[in-house]
Structure 1
Amino acid sequence: MIISNIIEIFPVLAKGINVTITVLIASAIFGYLMAFIAGLCRLSNNIILRGVTTFYVEIFRGTSLIVQLFWLFYALPILFGINLGNEFWAGSLAIGLNYGAYMSEVVRSSILSVAKGQSEAATALNMSRFQRMRLVIFPQAVRMMLPEFGNYLIQMLKATSLVSLISMHDILYHGDLLRYSNIAMGGSVYFYVLVFFFILALPLIFLTRKMEKFSKKGVAN
């Protein structure tokens, strides 16, 4: 029974792997980009930059990812005539903007966590603010960001399942189609969907552990 289920279900779910992975990659690139932009802007002396990025962060952290996904895909074209092109961009942008808002706090807090003595020493060497950030503060902060960035990457993978709600043919979408055609298989289908996501997450879990070890190198306990 188990073997027959695997033979019947796995090939169907496998059709959605490409979509799941491409959405994850696009979401991660956009999410990390937004994290650094928003995180650095929130440390800016420019009140306008701080205000705009704070508004972005609070909006995307304070509302549901599903609502954001529907808003970008359904509401933008109707209310403002802005069409993102297709489901792929709407899904990737929604996940990227959402997790970028959360990760911007990781960027901001990591930069603030660098010992003040480091900045003071760089100032004593007559470095400009940009040089202090680029050469002294930022490299140390990035090491502190890595473990959390790895954890958020795993969360973004799990969030890709939401793109099935806007008819993207990902793993969950094909699982839903299979369940609709054979309701009795519903439990087995969703179990193997879970297995698929876990298998995809394993390399990311391993990568996150490596990041944690790397971030601790040379750090005094």
Structure 2
Amino acid sequence: MDWLAYLTPLMMGARVTIELTLYSTILGGLFSFLFGIGRLSRNRPWRWTSIALIEVFRGTSLLVQLFWLFFALPVLGQALGIDLRLPPVVAGTLALSLNIGAYGAEVVRGAIQAVPRNQYEAAKALDFTPRQTLWRIALPQAVPEMLPSFSNLAVQNLKDTALVSLIGLGDMAFQAERIRNFTQDSVSVYTLLLLMYFGMALVLAGLMRTLETRVGRWRSRRT
């Protein structure tokens, strides 16, 4: 078993996996706040759009979402006379981001609604606008409560990146399948792949715990 020979292409795939995880997690976090705050908004178009997107992306398979963006969207664009073809990395990042954003939106909504009611009453007594209440009162208290759930979503997102291999993106899963097809050494290849995903998940979870600790200290100083 030439494990070292397998590691070279797998490490190339690991770079793609890391980049995809980073981009989609950051963008997914932005979608989480956009959809989560939108769901609580008094602006009806924003609220109903947020609700629709949350339900669609939570209620359908990530694999189907990925295939729709990569295969079906260009066909729809062609019918409309618009070029909607997406490069694999863009389709993969967008599918992962929207999926994690839909789940994260419920985390954001729940954390904001969990802020004690008297905090909102105090903001109203101080004549804060709804925007000031959100940014100065609700979010500073809600964000630390969101982080454990976001940590789980980030790790899940890392594991979900393996699906992008099905649209030809050269991540770790794609490279592993190429090696297996060439060598027929399934045990060694997929054992290495499993260990690499496990190691990356441990690192990501450690980084998220560090972030939780620092945010917790920041919150303590403010109070």
Normalising by structure 2, what TM-score? 0.90
Post-superposition offset of 1:211: 4.4
Q: How does 1:13-24 map to 2 (within 5 A)?
A: 13-24=10-21
- Matching of residue 203 in structure 1 with residue 203 in structure 2: yes
Structure 1 residue aligned with 2:65: 68
Q: How does 1:121-140 map to 2 (within 5 A)?
A: 121-140=122-141
Structure 1 residue aligned with 2:163: 162
Amino acid at match of 1:53: S
Structure 2 residue aligned with 1:101: 102
Question: Could you tell me whether the CA contact under 8 Å between 2:176 and 2:193 is conserved in 1?
Answer: yes
Q: How does 1:34-73 map to 2 (within 5 A)?
A: 34-73=31-70
Structure 2 residue aligned with 1:189: 189
Post-superposition offset of 1:215: 6.2
Post-superposition offset of 1:138: 1.0
Which sits farther off after the overlay, 62-71 or 80-89? Answer: 80-89
Amino acid at match of 1:34: F
Measure, in 2, the Cα distance between the counterparts of 1:101 and 1:197: 24
Which consecutive residues of structure 1, in runs of 5 or more, have no partner in the other structure? none
Cα RMSD (Å): 1.6
Measure, in 2, the Cα distance between the counterparts of 1:30 and 1:44: 21
1:79 aligned to which of 76, 79, 103: 76
Amino acid at match of 2:93: S
- Matching of residue 177 in structure 1 with residue 178 in structure 2: yes
Post-superposition offset of 1:178: 0.6
Post-superposition offset of 1:33: 1.1
Structure 1 residue aligned with 2:89: 88
Measure, in 1, the Cα distance between the counterparts of 2:48 and 2:126: 32
CA deviation string 1:197-221 (max 9, x = no partner):
1121122111233345456665xxx
Question: Could you tell me whether the CA contact under 8 Å between 1:150 and 1:211 is conserved in 2?
Answer: no
CA deviation string 1:142-192 (max 9, x = no partner):
111111111111111111111100011111111101100111x11110111
Question: Could you tell me whether the CA contact under 8 Å between 2:69 and 2:86 is conserved in 1?
Answer: no
Measure, in 2, the Cα distance between the counterparts of 1:88 and 1:128: 41
Secondary structure of 2:84's aligned partner: coil
Secondary structure of 1:16's aligned partner: helix
Measure, in 2, the Cα distance between the counterparts of 1:129 and 1:135: 10
Question: Could you tell me whether the CA contact under 8 Å between 1:144 and 1:215 is conserved in 2?
Answer: no
Which consecutive residues of structure 2, in runs of 5 or more, have no partner in the other structure? none
Question: Could you tell me whether the CA contact under 8 Å between 1:9 and 1:189 is conserved in 2?
Answer: yes
Post-superposition offset of 1:127: 1.6
Question: Could you tell me whether the CA contact under 8 Å between 1:23 and 1:160 is conserved in 2?
Answer: yes
Amino acid at match of 1:165: L
Structure 1 residue aligned with 2:151: 150
Structure 1 residue aligned with 2:22: 25
Which sits farther off after the overlay, 198-207 or 104-113? Answer: 198-207
